[in-house]
Chains A and B, each alone.
Chain A
Amino acid sequence: MRIVIADDAVILREGLAQLLAVRGHEVVAGVGDAAALREAVAAHRPDVAVIDVRMPPTHTDEGLRAAIDLRRDHPGVGILLFSQYVETRFAADLLAGSSAGVGYLLKERVADLDDFVDALRRVAAGGTALDPEVVTELLGSRRQGVDALTPREREVLALMAEGRANAAIAKTLVVSDRAVEKHIANIFTKLGLAPSGDGHRRVLAVLRYLRS
């Protein structure tokens, strides 16, 4: 993958670039603010832009606003928001409209490089990658519907909401693909969601449900 990194902390930009290089991904540009990010994305057309939420000048949510702009101007570029805090409101802003090709992760998730690179791939391919913390918050605020689910179904729902494919869910929970399919069908019935076709469409349906 070709990646642009936007983070005002050089130490994090370089650390991340080094890690991605180990896995054979190319960081085509590393920038420190939102304006430079817009230029870099326009110039390099990367597969994914990894964007810190807090950047100069105000250090509040420049990265988020730049991400929303980039999704409008460059729909083909995957956007991964990358932050020391995950805020449900920021996730909601980012996911507003379409949830295709966006992600929102805590920075420390790079500790599991396989997982992190998998999230980047999903985002680059138009999928989603939501931090488990955000998902927990989303599930917490929808207690009524979610209460009807079995613990295993709740686990499957959480992993779906993170944006993971069925095979990954099966691997994480150490169950068969068919068992995952069955759980997903039950979840959709219990939450009153219309059955929808392929994996990613179902992820979007789940996210829509959790955010509504």
Chain B
Amino acid sequence: MERLSAGVASRPVAAARAAFGRRAAAELLYAVASLPLAVLGFGYAAATLVLGLGLAVTAAGIPLLAVGLLGARWFGGLYRRLAGRLLGERVRPPAPHRPGSGFYGRVQAVLGDAAGRRAMAYLLLRLPLALLHLYVVLFTWGWGVVALTYPLQRAFGLNDVTTRDERGVLRHGFVIGGLHLDTWPRALLVSVAGAALLFLAPRAVHAVVLLDRMLIRRLLGGSSAAERIRTLEETRARAVDDAAATLRRIERDLHDGAQARLVALTMQLTLLRETAPEGPVRDLAATAQATAREAVAELRELVRGIHPPVLDSGLDPALASLTARAGLPVELRADIPVRPTAAIESIAYFCAAELLTNVIKHSGAARAEIEVVQREDRLRLRVRDDGSGGAVVGAGSGLPGLAERIRPVDGLLEVDSPAGGPTVITVDLPSHA
């Protein structure tokens, strides 16, 4: 019973706290404090837009617009921080702007930056919204306080408004809708109305601030799903390129470091064999040399599996060397007018290697064909053999691994392998990751 009454009692208290507590104070402060920033932001946005568009026919216009958008992003950051500090509105900031390369690349990157454009829109919308904030604050809080304290004002003779009514009599007090509030009961009525206004004030401010919160989330927040996907695609492409570059660097380091030293060691051991007298030392040098040569050969095979050096000269020579080592006659047709990125070349090369291994291990083919064609933004690799067919993705065929390899670049794998052959496997890749 006691608990129940406590519960009943606490509900209005909580409501009052919500209405007049810290949140209401913060929202009021926000509504007032953001006004100067709104004026400044609007002025900035309007100035850059008018100047930028006005000068658009000259060379200066578009870069000016770009600078304006960058500044809008910065203003957006200020608003986000203000809303975060006062309203506790935590909005994920948009992904940092990625500058393009070169002057026009930079300008283009800024103009294409949706976050900058949205921030600009916010700056423009924010001024009318700030005026609405101001109006609501003045109307509710301002008039509320004035009306509530009206009887006091009367008592102390403050705010004394003197008007003449329709009969020509001087009246002292406010007039609302022709009603002269100059008697005590009427003054008390005004006071009650003031209390009602003050009761409504936090709610009204909350409502207009809510409008701003929505705008902030829409226009200053992190990207929409589509933008997020684009960001993911870009970062994924960069990750793919970085991985390829790293492998290439490892290959270079090995070539210039460990491999070169091992070859030098082989030479020094040759020298030892040449100059040492016949006997155990010379024999030991020969054994050591054999070991060093094995290490050189193993390292070479390892590096071929990481990044075959000939790939630096292009996909065509790399595939020529690959087919030459295949151990069965492979006809290679390559038509690559524009070199794909290093990562795509690498993926295409290892796909071809995997498919050739499949041909040799599973198909029983006597010969194979590799065709690589680059057209527009696609690179198509097609491996054909005259073997027994029946290749499927799975069952130790190596095709699942291949599918995994091309997935990060949205590659497509097509397997056409009827029982009895022939098998045609097509890998379709973008020219750029």
Contacts and interface: CB of A to CB of B under 8 A. Distances in A.
Interface of A: 9, 11-12, 15-16, 18-19, 22-23, 54, 58-61, 84-85, 87-90, 92, 107-108, 110-111, 113, 137-138, 140-144
30 contacts: A9-B264, A12-B260, A12-B263, A15-B264, A15-B267, A54-B255, A58-B312, A59-B255, A59-B312, A60-B312, A84-B260, A84-B300, A85-B308, A87-B309, A87-B320, A88-B321, A89-B316, A89-B320, A89-B324, A92-B320, A107-B263, A107-B266, A108-B296, A111-B266, A111-B289, A111-B292, A113-B274, A140-B326, A141-B323, A141-B324
Contacts of A137: 321, 324-325
A113 B324 CA distance: 28
B119 interface: no
Contacts of A138: 324
Q: Which of A15, A19, A108 has the most CB of B within 10 A?
A: A108
Nearest to B289: A111
B266 A141 contact: no
Nearest to B261: A11
Interface stretch (B92-100, B194-202, B327-335, B392-400): B327-335
Interface string B297-318: 1001000100011101100110
A113 B293 CA distance: 14
Contacts of A19: 267, 270-271, 274
Contacts of B289: 111
Interface string B315-353: 011001101111111100000000000000000000000
Interface in B242-300: 252, 255-256, 259-261, 263-264, 266-271, 273-275, 289, 292-293, 296-297, 300
A58 B313 CA distance: 10
A143 B323 CA distance: 13
A140 B327 contact: yes
Nearest to B317: A89
A12 B256 CA distance: 11
Instruction: Identify the 6 closest CB pairs spanning chains A and B, nearest first.
Output: A88-B324, A15-B267, A137-B324, A89-B317, A89-B320, A60-B312
A127 B83 CA distance: 82
Contacts of B292: 111
A12 B323 CA distance: 31
B428 to A, nearest CB: 25
B368 to A, nearest CB: 11
Contacts of B320: 87-89, 92
Contacts of A9: 256, 260, 264
A156 B160 CA distance: 125
Contacts of B313: 60-61, 89
Interface residues of B, number: 41
Contacts of A108: 263, 266, 293, 296-297
A104 B329 CA distance: 23
A173 B307 CA distance: 37
| Interface residues of chain B: helix, strand, loop or mixed (majority) | helix
A84 B326 CA distance: 20
Nearest to B268: A15
Given A61-B313, A87-B310, A140-B326, A111 B321 contact: no
Q: Which of B268, B308, B310 has the most CB of A within 10 A?
A: B310
Contacts of A54: 255, 309
Contacts of B274: 19, 22-23, 113
A110 B326 CA distance: 27
A134 B217 CA distance: 65
A12 B284 CA distance: 22
Given A59-B252, A85-B310, A113-B274, A16 B325 contact: no
Contacts of B252: 59
B328 A143 contact: yes
B321 A87 contact: yes
Given A88-B320, A108-B296, 12 more contacts: A12-B260, A19-B271, A87-B309, A87-B321, A88-B321, A88-B325, A107-B263, A108-B266, A111-B270, A111-B293, A113-B273, A140-B325
Contact of B330 (A87, A113, A141): A141
A143 B310 contact: no
B317 A87 contact: yes
Contacts of A15: 264, 267-268, 271
Nearest to B321: A87
Contacts of B328: 140, 143
Contacts of B308: 85
A110 B270 contact: yes
Given A19-B270, A111-B266, A140 B324 contact: yes
Contacts of A22: 271, 274-275
A16 B256 contact: no
B333 to A, nearest CB: 15
Contacts of B263: 12, 84, 107-108
Nearest to B323: A141
Contacts of B267: 12, 15-16, 18-19, 110
A45 B316 CA distance: 35
Nearest to B294: A108
Contacts of B256: 9
B324 A12 contact: no
